[in-house]
């Protein structure tokens, strides 16, 4: 039985605690938060210990794996402390608040040979997993373009990053995952429509050389939307993350080219976070599971930061 702990049990971390508490082969040993009331409430609910000091928690609980779900600016400090003790960690996305901080985490993990996973949860969404299988099979023919929309209202708990770092990194990582590569260049336009301190909307254009990708993100739209479409020479896909649906429009052939066959892909509904944490636990157990690695997390962050740079400098930025 692996002992798990969660550092930071706010909007995202509390769900990690919930999933660990019900995960096979894992015991939720402790939660940590500077808000002692919140930590104690979760500890009472899941019958585990609570702490305000993560160093004290590590010393007393000796966890086998830990989720870091604190504000992004604190990721590096806590990650380095845990890696130094060779404790496997999962860092909620993004990996860090700068590429230097991310590289420091990666360097420390390599030195200590410690497991570091990054919480890019959408990779584990069932329709994304199935879509990737279809892409590997060549079902869509030549991929022409991908378009994503991830929009909704402003999340008040986000205080240290903008919409490109908070939301766009999801779709950047998904596109890297689906296309098995990274973009050659990025161009973006962003703005501060309702928030004078941080970008709250952006349109991002990624050039994967042979595939064009357009990402739309914002904290303005009064309705939450999480969608992806993919166009290929043989078929077109519509994917809804929230409803976990995938619809394929297959082209006709010969004289009946105008006839389109629409296929609703049967998918088993599963919680992406549960799949993500199960893979993380399996990796800790030595089962070589499917985790998002720290270098992959760094790449998603690099592209998001390049998008910000592109907007501010009004030019195309090459990804190196």
Describe the chain by its helix, strand, coil percentages, rounded to 5. Answer: 40, 25, 35
Mean of the pLDDT values across residues 69-80?
Answer: 96
140 beta partners = none
For residue 219, the tally of other CB atoms under 10 A from its CB is 21
Res 253: pLDDT: 64
What is the spatial distance between Cα 209 and Cα 77, in angstroms, rounded to a whole number? Answer: 37
Question: Which pLDDT value is given to residue 258?
Answer: 61
Residue 158, pLDDT > 80, answer: no
- Write out the two tokens for 70: 């604190």
pTM of the model: 0.95
Q: What is the pLDDT of residues 7-23, one digit of tens each?
A: 999 989 999 999 999 99
User: What 3-state class would DSSP assign to 163?
Assistant: helix
- Residues 255 and 315: their CA atoms lie apart, in Å, by 45
Check pLDDT > 90 for residue 195: no
Q: Is the pLDDT of residue 252 over 90?
A: no
Task: State yes or no: pLDDT of 257 exceeds 60.
Answer: no
Pairing mode of beta strands 2-7, 185-191: unpaired
Between 112-121, 272-281, 282-291, the lowest mean confidence (pLDDT) is in 282-291
What pLDDT is stored for residue 29 in this prediction? 98
CB atoms < 10 A from the CB of 44, how many?
10
Residues in the chain: 320
Cα→Cα distances 278→18, 27, 271, 273, Å: 13, 12, 11, 8
User: pLDDT tens for residues 86-124?
Assistant: 999 999 999 999 999 999 999 999 999 999 999 999 999
For the chain, how big is the Rg over CA atoms in Å? Answer: 20
According to DSSP, the residues that pair with 239 across neighbouring strands are: 228, 246
Peptide bond into 94 cis (omega under 30): yes
Which residues make Cβ contacts (< 8 Å) with residue 146, sequence separation at least 6? 175, 178, 179, 211, 212, 213, 214, 228, 229, 230, 231
- Domains for the chain: give ranges and CATH numbers: 2-121+274-292 (3.40.50.720), 122-269+301-318 (3.30.360.10)
| pLDDT tens per residue across span 305-317 | 999 999 999 999 9
**Range 234-252 average pLDDT:** 94
Q: What is the pLDDT of residues 288-304, one digit of tens each?
A: 889 999 999 999 999 99
Are the CB atoms for 229 and 239 separated by under 8 Å?
Answer: yes
Taking alpha carbons only, the member of 291, 271, 269 closest to residue 280 is: 291
Cβ neighbours around 99 below 10 Å, total: 15
235: helix, strand or coil: strand
User: What is the average per-residue pLDDT within 129-145?
Assistant: 97
Q: What is the pLDDT of residue 103?
A: 98
The torsion region of residue 244 among left (phi > 0), alpha (psi -120 to 50) and beta comes to: left
Give pLDDT, residue 259: 62
Exposed e or buried b for every residue in 157-191, given b needs 16+ CB within 10 A?
Answer: ebeebbbbbbbbbbbbbbbbbbbeebbebbbbebe
Is 296 strand, coil or helix?
Answer: helix
Distance between CA atoms of residues 148 and 167, nearest Å: 11
Average pLDDT of 206-225? 97
The C-alpha atoms of residue 300 and residue 70 are separated, in whole angstroms, by: 19
Mean pLDDT of the chain: 95
**What is the predicted pLDDT for the residue at 161?**
86
């Amino acid at each position: 039985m692996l002992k798990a702990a969660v550092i930071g049990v706010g909007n995202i971390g509390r769900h990690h605690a919930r999933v660990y508490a019900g995960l096979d082969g894992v015991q939720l040993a402790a939660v940590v938060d500077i808000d002692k009331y919140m930590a104690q409430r979760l500890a009472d609910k899941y019958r585990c210990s609570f702490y305000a000091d993560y160093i004290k928690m590590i010393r007393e609980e000796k966890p086998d794996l830990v989720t870091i779900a604190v504000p992004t600016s604190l990721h590096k400090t806590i990650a380095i402390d845990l890696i130094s003790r060779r404790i496997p960690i999962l860092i909620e996305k993004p990996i860090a608040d700068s590429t230097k901080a991310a590289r420091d985490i990666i360097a420390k993990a390599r030195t200590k040979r410690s497991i570091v996973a990054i919480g890019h949860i959408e990779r584990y969404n069932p329709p994304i997993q199935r879509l990737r299988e279809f892409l590997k099979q060549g079902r869509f023919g030549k991929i022409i373009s991908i378009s994503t929309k991830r929009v909704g209202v402003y999340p008040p708990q986000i205080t240290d990053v903008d919409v490109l770092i908070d939301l766009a990194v999801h779709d950047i990582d998904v596109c890297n995952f689906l296309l098995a590569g990274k973009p050659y260049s990025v161009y973006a336009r962003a703005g501060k429509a309702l928030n004078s301190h941080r970008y709250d909307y952006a349109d991002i254009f990624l050039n994967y050389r042979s595939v064009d990708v357009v990402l739309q993100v914002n904290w303005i739209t009064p309705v939450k939307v999480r969608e992806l479409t993919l166009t290929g020479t043989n078929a077109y896909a519509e994917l809804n993350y929230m409803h976990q649906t995938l619809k394929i429009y297959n082209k006709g052939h010969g004289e009946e080219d105008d006839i389109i066959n629409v296929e609703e892909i049967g998918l088993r509904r599963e919680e992406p976070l549960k799949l993500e944490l199960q893979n993380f636990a399996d990796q800790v157990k030595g089962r070589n599971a499917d985790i998002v690695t720290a270098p992959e997390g760094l790449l998603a962050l690099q592209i998001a930061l390049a998008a910000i740079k592109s907007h501010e400098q009004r030019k195309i930025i090459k990804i190196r």
